[in-house]
Amino acid sequence: MASSIIRFSVFLCSFLFQYLLFFSQNLKGVLGQSSPVFACNVASNATLSSFAFCDTSLGVDARVADLVKRLTLPEKIGFLVNSAGSVSRLGIPKYEWWSEALHGVSYVGPGTKFSSLVPGATSFPQVILTAASFNTSLFEAIGRVVSTEARAMYNVGLAGLTYWSPNINIFRDPRWGRGQETPGEDPLLSSKYGSGYVRGLQQTDDGDKNKLKVAACCKHYTAYDIDNWKGVDRYHFNAVVTKQDMDDTFQPPFKSCVIDGNVASVMCSYNQVNGIPTCADPDLLAGVIRGEWKLNGYIVTDCDSIDVYYNNQHYTKTPEEAAAKAILAGLDLNCGSFLGKYTQGAVQAGLVNEAAIDRAISNNFATLMRLGFFDGDPSNKPYGKLGPKDVCTSENQELARETARQGIVLLKNSPGSLPLSPTAIKSLAVIGPNSNVTKTMIGNYEGTPCKYTTILQGLSASAATSYVPACANVACGTAQVDDATKIAASADATILVVGADQSIEAESRDRIDLYLPGQQTLLVTEVAKASKGPVILVIMSGGGFDITFAKNNTKITSILWVGYPGEAGGAAVADVVFGHYNPCGRLPMTWYPQSYVDKVPMTNMNMRPDASKGYPGRTYRFYTGETVYSFGDGLSYSTFNHKLVRAPKLVSIPLEEGHVCHSSSCKSLDVMEERCKNLVFDIHLGVKNAGSMSGSHTVMLFSSPPAVHKSPQKHLLGFEKVFLSAQREALVKFNVDVCKHLSVVDELGNRKVALGEHVLHVGSLTHSFSVRI
């Protein structure tokens, strides 16, 4: 009997073991993850408490130094790459550095994945549309939501803590496929977006700058804005940039990201700048980012950039030399495997020493220390209680919708067109290849969204709709014009939704022209001709188009640009179309005519015009030609009036005795700390909503400096978003720092305050004042 009981007990134990093993394996499959392993988890391994790097009472530098000295050279090299190796004897698990969060937690990059536990995350509009809101508090609010969702996913083993976002390159040329990822063409707006989004991602609730909620990364440093145009690709392109353009156009967003945003990382780009790969340039990396700007964090390559400058650009003769150049230039982390393969050989060849590797991995470890990666199980630490319930909350999804609403730009609106009345419109024709798309709305570097609301779905919630896509896709090889005109002819109003998607503009895909793809123009024109009611043209795209034909067509009564409006884009478009929301977005980039790209090659990096060569310059700051729509354009259902309340007529700059400018005529003065101290003044503007509908309005303050040093014809000094009820007024104040806001960059890259007459612009209002010594 006893033996039977024993045999049964053994059988039962064996059965339970197999069952639990089966259950755990299948649970892992169901959740798409294994239980997360945390470094310095003293609770599960008490021996780790003897390591100083696991002691949270010590400072970051002391903990990092202790960790580095415990590693062998091969182990150190394992921490130079994004798929960082584990060191089991020290309780350090593998870590994947590469995650993305351009406009929400993304599945691009191996560090993040979705599963049945967290099937999606909030997908905000693509950055170019968010930038059109000109709302700095919104930029930060989005960052806070994204970092909360990222932390929630990290806690259950689905995400990392290091996110290689935002992209703050200048949208220099309208053909660039990645312009959609950026905040546009203006250095100030790009700086405000970058530093704001970074603060939202990184700042902890206690405001401690030595701690990080997640680590952001500003990219792609620098002068990177060609992907693949007419056979010229980013892997081979040498951006020839003047010192003046570098310092007043390409560098300011990165400088602001590091200094104002306190970003934890900067990513160097694929291209060369003036003959040197950015990831091998000691002046750009160690000199500027870490030396001048004092980066507190790590410098990472774009993926395989070292391999690119070795194999594609042939910058070095051996791979070991390529590895050494990157490390000696100030690089800390390689996205890719190149440093993992060739650093040991570089050390053995005497091309780089172990101390340089220690410096690089110390920057990497310090970032992980600030994130709490080496603090053990996060469940009892800040953000440790976040989980799946904190992803895709109703509040987060509503913010995605609100962001799209704030960014949508009304470019044209004839009397009696928008907003449509939900009660008066009994039938609505919805036509075009982007009317009912889902993934197109979230652009690139996307994640799985919480859910989608297409434009067709959004409109159908307020009116009876008939729908014809009219094109098989945005390429629109053959438009089904007859089907489209038939429903337009009988509808009370017609909405045409056209534009682009990632097959037209994307990473590694620049455009050749600025026309609507395929037969979209034919479709729009014929539908407008046949329509009996208002015709609203909706452009879904990252870059601008030459839609002069639509702008001038009186049958097309309204035009909306909606970017790639995110998961709730359709609801936001419907909110604007039916007047539930008063549009307030402004274009963050110039829309050029086709003639511009016919004569300007993408490869010409010069911002400033050259009349002798027929070169018209780039962006609203320098471009001298005609536009289809200009930077800052955007209408409202209300009229907003401005009046000047306070502004100086004269600004005097104190100069020390004996200065050369006392005795001779000077056009400008060097920006110097002593000279610039307390050199500020206020601009006060009265703003009135003269319409009958409440709404937000962006007050944009521009300045036109004297024509010295090939200065911009005008540039943005500041912007403020204000909400006004109908017929209400508000006072908007700008604090102008003379040396920061009124200075220009001279031909040698030095900042100067231009002497003479400056002109301020707000809408149609102008005010002149003199800057003198």
Q: 27-32 long-range CB contacts below 8 Å, 24 or more apart?
A: 30/115, 30/116, 31/115, 31/116, 31/117, 31/156, 32/113, 32/114, 32/115, 32/116, 32/117, 32/158
Contact 214, 164 (CB under 8 A): no
Nearest to 738 by CA among 714, 755, 721, 713: 755
Amino acid identity of residue 510, one-letter, is D
Selecting among 225, 247, 281, 302, the annotated active-site residue is 302
What are the tokens at 126?
């693509």
Distance CA 414, CA 551 (A): 11
Which of 441, 436, 438 has its CA nearest to residue 465? 436
Residue length of the chain: 773
Tell the burial category of 317 from Cβ atoms under 10 Å away from its Cβ (0-12, 13-18, 19+): exposed
DSSP 3-state assignment of 495? Answer: strand
Query: Which long-range contacts (C-beta less than 8 Å, at least 24 apart) are formed by 204-207?
Result: 204/382, 205/382, 206/382
On the question of a cis peptide bond just before residue 419, with omega within 30 degrees of 0, the verdict is yes
List C-alpha distances in Å: 271 to 80, 279, 304, 306, 313: 21, 9, 12, 11, 9
208 among known catalytic residues: no
287-to-354, 700, 742 alpha-carbon distances in Å: 21, 34, 26
- State the number of CA atoms in the 13 A half-sphere of 301 facing the CB: 32
DSSP category for residue 92: B
With CA atoms as reference, report the closest residue to 606 among 597, 596, 615.
615
Angle, vertex CA 725, rays to CA 723 and CA 728, nearest 5? 100
Q: Is the bond preceding residue 125 a cis peptide, omega within 30 degrees?
A: no
Own/partner pairs, 757-761, CB within 8 angstroms, 24+ separation: 757/706, 758/703, 758/704, 758/705, 758/706, 759/703, 759/704, 760/647, 760/683, 760/701, 760/702, 760/703, 760/717, 761/701, 761/702, 761/703, 761/704, 761/714
For helices 394-407 and 569-577, give the axis angle rounded to 10 degrees.
Answer: 50
Which positions are annotated as active-site residues?
302
